[in-house]
Amino acid sequence: MGITELLWRFPSAQMAWRNLGRNRIRTALASLGIVIGVISIASLGITGVAIQQQATSDLGSLTNEVTITSGEDSTTAGVTADQVDEVRNVAGNVDVVPQYSDATTISSRNGQEENVSVIALTQANVLYDVSAGESPERLQSGVLLTDSTANQLGIEIGDPIEYNGQMYRVRGLIESDQGFGGGGRGQLVVPESALSDRDNYDSVTIVTEDGDAATEIAAILRDHFNEETHNGEVDEELSITDYSDVQENINSFMNTLRLALLGIGSISLVVASVAILNVMLMSTIERRGEIGVLRAVGIRRGEVLRMILIEAAFLGAIGGLAGVLISIVIGLALFQVLAGDAVIVFEWESARYLVYGFLFAIGASVVSGLYPAWKAANDRPVEALRG
């Protein structure tokens, strides 16, 4: 069923559609204001979602990790092997990776040097993704090196690196933004045996399915290891840190930012609504005699009111639809650049702003048409025919 056939079933809609076609330039200009307003609302909302996606991605996997170190009230330096076993029993079926920490300087063949952090562990694949080579489930020989450090020093897979008086060959290059502890300083990951002469581990990392599981396990471990004393203070045997607060703070900030952006975008649509109000007033004034004839032949006030409001709604729908289509194109580009996946624009988290913009366009247009519609419907037929 075409739009013309559909309009014939509703006389008010038919007359409203015909009136819009009388002065196409004025209709186009009024719709243009709506287009700009919808683009402002939808694009700014989508931009907020894209920025949040990028911020969440930049956090890497930190939100599903729990870090354990020696507490302020611990009698030992570091985390003991017995404590690691106890953590495994309490945490359940999750990856628990104890680590030794150190620092060293590695050199290239041409004598260039760079300071790097050293992490000694066994389950390298749990904490590290590699851009080349492999990240073994049990790291017992060879080392991993941050790819940015390798590029700077000209080191490739299979090249030897000396650490602590022993030679190791590079088995994998760690993605620079994936390394545990963040980017910046390069990292050298060695087998646990390279620092096994130490009494205790420097830290333990627990990797869970998601941020909620990490928060739950962190709370269980705090209750298990850190007892509350009789005076209400906590005896901190182990310092247990999860990163759920980081994600919550980011989400809270981004929600505030999106509200601010939507407010800015809404101003454009309010300005467009004023333009529609002016267009509708001018239209009803020009058609005053015509409306008077309609009233004189028996058309009721409600029908006139409905006709003007439908005309305003058509303006909002035309401008809103055009604004949504343009916003989709903008959103595709934004998500491709910021998140690397353009189709995210069609997910509800971002697509809802397209819906909001379209509904706001129609709503604002109808509200703008209320006064012109009321004025036209309540104009006495005799006075309207006189002009």
Q: What percent of the chain has a predicted confidence (pLDDT) above 90? A: 31
Q: How far is CA 142 from CA 17, 235, 240, in A?
A: 75, 40, 31
pLDDT tens, residue by residue, 245-304 = 666 777 777 778 777 777 777 777 777 777 777 777 776 776 666 666 666 666 677 777
Residue with more model confidence, 194 or 341: 194
pLDDT confidence tier of residue 84, bands split at 50, 70 and 90: very high
Domain ranges, ordered by start, for the chain? 9-58+248-386, 64-242
Judged against a pLDDT cut of 50, whether residue 315 lies above it is answered with yes
CA–CA distance, 321 with 105 (Å, rounded to integer): 60
Residue with more model confidence, 281 or 144: 144
Q: What is the 3-state composition of the chain as percent helix, strand, coil, each rounded to the nearest 5?
A: 60, 20, 25
Task: Give the torsion sign (CA, 328, 333, 339, 343).
Answer: positive
**Mean pLDDT (whole number) for 210-235:** 83
Judged against a pLDDT cut of 50, whether residue 127 lies above it is answered with yes
Query: What does R_g of the chain's alpha carbons equal in angstroms?
Result: 33
Give the per-residue pLDDT at 233: 76
Confidence (pTM): 0.57
> How many C-beta atoms surround the C-beta of residue 4 within 10 A?
9
CA–CA distance, 169 with 161 (Å, rounded to integer): 6
Judged against a pLDDT cut of 90, whether residue 88 lies above it is answered with yes
Most confident of 19-33, 222-236, 249-263, 295-309: 222-236
Give the per-residue pLDDT at 203: 95
Judged against a pLDDT cut of 60, whether residue 1 lies above it is answered with no
**Mean pLDDT (whole number) for 116-144:** 93
Give the per-residue pLDDT at 7: 47
DSSP state of 195: G
Give the per-residue pLDDT at 279: 73
Give the per-residue pLDDT at 257: 75
Looking at the DSSP bridge assignments, the partners of residue 331 are none
Residue with more model confidence, 244 or 194: 194
CA–CA distance, 192 with 140 (Å, rounded to integer): 7
pLDDT tens, residue by residue, 180-191 = 444 457 899 999
Q: What percent of the chain has a predicted confidence (pLDDT) above 70? A: 83
Judged against a pLDDT cut of 90, whether residue 99 lies above it is answered with yes
Residue with more model confidence, 200 or 246: 200
Judged against a pLDDT cut of 80, whether residue 368 lies above it is answered with yes
pLDDT tens, residue by residue, 151-162 = 989 999 999 999
Give the per-residue pLDDT at 336: 85
Judged against a pLDDT cut of 60, whether residue 6 lies above it is answered with no
